[in-house]
Amino acid sequence: MTLTPITADLSEFPDELHEILRGARLYDSSCSQEARVIFIDRDSGYFLKSAPTGSLRKEAELTRYFHEKGLAAGVTRYVTGGRDWLLTEKLRGDDCTAAKYLERPERLCDALAERLFLLHAADCAGCPEPNRTASYLADAESNFRRGHYDLDLFPDSWGFETAEQAHSIVLTSGHLLQADTLLHGDYCLPNVILDDWRFSGFVDLGSGGVGDRHVDLFWGAWTLNFNLKTDKFRQRFFDAYGRGRVDEARLRVVAAVEVFG
């Protein structure tokens, strides 16, 4: 995580956030164009995410749900108006892109797989997103019709030559995806926080809910390939998770869906 010192005018923020921002050291820690994230260096630390109105509601609900299970930081405030603002406590430790974790790739791979297995074994009763699979498939169809796609997620394995080819897989095999497992939804190294290898919690839970475990398996394999600059850990990751629970047919469906973002 990169932290860049910033100054901010309190008038840019909702009144409800002024007290916690006033006098605190602030750092930009954004990693995407969709949302801005500010680290607030006060008490044990806070993260403040802002994004267009309504876009953080689901993340706030899911973060609270995961927090109740001991799997995420506490939500301090969710404010909506001209923009959405989500204030969460800082978890102890660092995300899995920290050098001390990347320098031990075998241990990191196994830890990522074992933590995912434990997440998928959790009770998903009462989840505020009870059928993520339905919206997941609907989003893929909508994005296909809008011409929004990326064929390069896994060009050497699950890559598709055309958007139409990927869409065909979604249409013919999308029914294979189930909605029976609590998912992170974006299971990547920056979204898993470890405190000296001890699990601390998950962040960025806006794509979570009850869905098919192969969504997280896909992203777990993807992030090891992307962050370690090699795909050699994919099979180790699946073995550590439990090879008998990995269905290549469903992984291919997920890969096809993910073509459409």
Q: How high is the pLDDT of residue 83?
A: 94
CATH at 181: 3.90.1200.10
Contacts 24+ apart (CB under 8 A), 15-18: 16/77, 16/79, 17/48, 17/77, 17/79, 17/85, 17/87
* Tokens linked to 259: 């073509």
Identify whether residues 134 and 239 lie together within a single domain. yes
Question: Residues 186, 204, 212, 216: which is the catalytic one?
Answer: 186
Q: How high is the pLDDT of residue 2?
A: 76
Identify whether residues 112 and 241 lie together within a single domain. yes
Identify whether residues 73 and 114 lie together within a single domain. no
Q: Return the SS3 of 133.
A: helix
Give the predicted TM-score (pTM) of the model.
0.95
Query: Is 123 an annotated catalytic residue?
Result: no
Identify whether residues 9 and 53 lie together within a single domain. yes
Identify whether residues 249 and 224 lie together within a single domain. yes
Please list the residues that pair with 9 across neighbouring strands.
Answer: none
The number of domains in the chain is 2
Q: How high is the pLDDT of residue 122?
A: 98
Q: Give every CB contact of residue 98 below 8 A, 6+ residues apart in sequence.
A: 1
End of a domain among 59, 89, 119? 89
Identify whether residues 167 and 243 lie together within a single domain. yes
Identify whether residues 62 and 128 lie together within a single domain. no
The residue range of the domain holding 107 is: 94-258
CA 52/CA 80 separation, integer angstroms? 9
Identify whether residues 43 and 156 lie together within a single domain. no
* Tokens linked to 248: 């290549």
CATH at 9: 3.30.200.20
Please list the residues that pair with 198 across neighbouring strands.
Answer: 195
Identify whether residues 61 and 182 lie together within a single domain. no
Q: Which of 190, 234, 215 is nearest to 102 (CA)?
A: 190
Degrees to nearest 5, angle at CA 121 with 118 and 126:
120
Identify whether residues 37 and 166 lie together within a single domain. no
End of a domain among 61, 89, 117? 89
Identify whether residues 175 and 188 lie together within a single domain. yes
CA 128/CA 135 separation, integer angstroms? 13
Q: How high is the pLDDT of residue 240?
A: 98
End of a domain among 39, 55, 89? 89
pLDDT tens, position by position, for the chain (261 residues)? 678 888 888 999 999 999 999 999 999 988 777 789 999 999 999 999 999 999 999 999 999 999 999 999 999 999 998 899 999 999 999 999 999 999 999 999 999 999 999 999 999 999 999 999 999 999 999 999 999 999 887 777 788 889 999 999 999 999 999 999 999 999 999 999 999 999 999 999 999 999 999 999 999 999 999 999 999 999 999 999 999 999 999 999 999 999 998
Identify whether residues 69 and 124 lie together within a single domain. no
Give the pairing type, strands 83-89 and 46-52: antiparallel
Q: How high is the pLDDT of residue 19?
A: 95
